[in-house]
Amino acid sequence: MSTILELYNYWIFIFLMMIGFYIVIAQGNLIKKIVGLNIFQTSVFLLYISMGKVAGGTAPILIDADVTYSNPLPHVLILTAIVVGVATTSVAMALIIRIHKAYGTIEEHEIHEQDASL
Amino acid sequence: MMMRDLFAIVMLFGIYSLLSAAIFVTLDAVDVAFTEAAVGAGISTILVLSTLALTSSEEKPPQHKFFLPLLVVLITGTALVFGTLDMPDFADPNAPVHQHVAPRYIHDSFQETGLPNIVTSVLASYRGYDTMGEVVVIFTAGIAVSLLLTSVRHKRNEPGNLKDLGHHPIILYVSQLMIPLILLFALYVQFHGDFGPGGGFQAGVIFAAGFILYAMIIGIDKIRETFSSACLRWLAVTGVVLYISVGIVTLLLGGEFLNYNVIAEDPVEGQHWGIFLVELGVGITVTATMLGLFLTFSEVKRSQ
C-alpha cells in the first residue's frame, strides 16, 4: 500500500493532463482549446520535473558542502520546452486571429456550419 | 469550464502558471520556475489577451455534448493510472532516470566547464545541439506569426487597437522607475546565469517584458522608432547565426560541432567562452522574437 501512495505525483499529473484533454475535445471555443492544450503541456512539465526530484536533494547549483542534488537533466529539457511552448502558443493565436478574420467567429460549430453551407 | 468570460479564464490561467512555478521551486527546479514565471504568467498571458482584444472575449452558449468526451477522458486516465503502477516512487534516488548521464553531469561538470550551475552547463554545452534546435524553433515561430499577421496589419500612424496608458500619472511614474530596473535585472540574469539560476531564455523573456511594458505605457509608435520590424528580424537572425557560428568556429579549430574545448588554450576557458556566446545568442533571439510577437499582435487591425 505504501508504494501506491508514493506514486501520487503521477496521479496529479494524470489528473491535470485529463482536464486539459477534456477541454481540448469537449469545448468548442478555440481560445479555450488552446488554454486546455497549455494545461496539458504543464502537466507534462510537472511529470518531468517531479521525476527529477531526489529525496533530500537541493537545486542543482554546485556548492562546496557535500549535499545531494536533484537531477538537472529534466530541468534543462523543460526549461527550453516552456519557451518553445509560448512560441507555438503564439502561432496558434495568430491562426485564431486569421480564422476570426475569415469566419467572423472563434466557435468551432459556427465554423463548421459556414463550411457546410458553402 | 462553465465560465463564458474568456478574460477571466485567461487571468486564471496566468495564476495557474504562477502556482506551477511555485511547485517547480519546491521540486528544486529553480531555473524552470524562473522561466515559467516569466513566460507563463507574463508573456503568454499578454499574447492571449491581445488575441481576445482582436476576436471576442465572450464565449457563445455551448453546443457540445458532455458524455462522449468524458468517457474518452476517463478511459485514457484509467489506462494511464494503471501504467504508473510500474513507475518508480516519487523522489526515489534509485529511479532509472538518475542512473544514466545525470551522475556524470553532477560530478564532472564543474571540472569540465567550471560553472556551478549544472543546468546552464548541460543546456549550453552538453546538450548544445538540443538548445540550438529550440532556438531555431522559436525563431521559426516568430517568422510564422509575422507571415500570418503581416497582411492584416494596419498602416503606420493609423490608430491601433492598443491605447497607451501614459496619461495615468501613477502608472507613468512607477513604470519610469521600474523599466530600467527590469532591463538591468535581465542583464544580470543573462550574465549571471552561469553561477545562479538564469540564462539566455529567462533573460530574453524578461528583457522583452521590460520593452512590452514600455510599449503598453508610452505607446507602440515610440518603441517602433527603435525596434522596427526589420530591426527585430535582424536581431532574431543575429542570435541564431551567433549560436551556429560558434559551432562552425569549433569545427574550424579542429573540434566537433559545438565542442567548446578548442576555443581557448585551456578547455575550461574555452567552455566559458562557448557557453557565454551561445547564451548570448539565445538571449538575443528570444528577446527579439518575444518583442516582435507582441508588437505584431498589437498592430493587427481590429475586425469589424
Convert the pLDDT of each residue in B148-183 to its tens digit: 888 777 655 555 555 667 778 888 888 889 999 999
Q: Give Cβ neighbours of residue B250 (< 8 Å, ≥ 6 apart).
A: B256, B257, B258, B259, B260, B262, B263, B274
Q: Which residues of A touch B51 (CB under 8 A)?
A: 31, 93, 96-97
Check residue A29 and give its pLDDT: 87
**Alpha-carbon gap: A57 to the closest alpha carbon of chain B (Å):** 8
CA dist A18 and B55 (Å) reads 27
Check residue A60 and give its pLDDT: 83
Angle at B206 between CA B204 and CA B212, to 5 degrees: 105
Q: Report the chain A residue with the minimal C-alpha distance to residue B124.
A: A76
How does DSSP assign B79-145, residue by residue? HHHHHHTTSPPTT-TTSGGGTSSHHHHHHHHHHHH--SBHHHHIIIIITHHHHHHHHHHHHHHHHHH
- CA dihedral of B130, B38, B34, B283, whole degrees rounded to 10: 40
Interface residue B111 vs chain A (CB under 8 A): no
Interface residue B67 vs chain A (CB under 8 A): no
Residue type at B53 in one-letter notation? A
Size of interface A-B (CB pairs under 8 A): 274
- B211 is written with which cell numbers? 520593452
Check residue B304 and give its pLDDT: 43
Q: Which residues of A touch B297 (CB under 8 A)?
A: 90, 93-94, 97
- B108 is written with which cell numbers? 564532472
Q: Which residues of B touch A96 (CB under 8 A)?
A: 51, 55
Check residue A36 and give its pLDDT: 92
Check residue B224 and give its pLDDT: 84
Helix (H, G, I), strand (E, B), or coil: what is residue B154?
coil
Residue B98 and residue A10: Cβ atoms within 8 Å? no
**Which residues are registered as beta bridge partners of A58?**
A69
Residue in the block written with cell 499578454: B46
How does DSSP assign B223-286, residue by residue? HHHHS-HHHHHHHHHHHHHHHHHHHHHHHHTTS-TT-GGGTSSSHHHHHHHHHHHHHHHHHHHH
Contact B119, A79 (CB under 8 A): yes
Contact A18, B24 (CB under 8 A): no
pLDDT-flagged residues of chain B (< 50): 304
User: Residue A1 pLDDT more than 50?
Assistant: no
pTM, to two decimals:
0.87
Interface residue B64 vs chain A (CB under 8 A): yes
Helix (H, G, I), strand (E, B), or coil: what is residue B18?
helix
Q: Give Cβ neighbours of residue B218 (< 8 Å, ≥ 6 apart).
A: B164, B166, B175
CA dist B42 and B14 (Å) reads 8
Interface residue A36 vs chain B (CB under 8 A): no
Neighbours of B227 (CB within 10 A): 17
Convert the pLDDT of each residue in B17-61 to its tens digit: 999 999 999 888 888 998 898 888 888 888 888 888 888 777 777
CA dist B304 and B295 (Å) reads 21
Q: With bands split at pLDDT 50, 70 and 90, how would you rate the model's confidence at A67? A: confident
Convert the pLDDT of each residue in A23-66 to its tens digit: 998 888 888 899 999 999 999 999 999 888 888 888 888 887 67
Portion 85-114 of A in contact with B at CB < 8 A: 85-91, 93-98, 100-101, 104-107, 109-110
What number is the ipTM of this complex?
0.88
- B73 is written with which cell numbers? 477522458
CA–centroid distance for B250 within its chain: 27
Radius of gyration of chain B measured on its C-alpha atoms: 22
The b/e string for B273-300 (b: 16+ C-beta within 10 A; e otherwise) is ebbbbbbbbbbbbbbbbbbbbbbbbbbb
CA dist A83 and B239 (Å) reads 15
**Which residues are registered as beta bridge partners of B300?**
B153
Residue type at B80 in one-letter notation? L
Residue B35 and residue A83: Cβ atoms within 8 Å? yes
CA dist B259 and B29 (Å) reads 26
Check residue B255 and give its pLDDT: 80
- B226 is written with which cell numbers? 527603435
Contact A75, A60 (CB under 8 A): yes
Residue in the block written with cell 529550440: B134
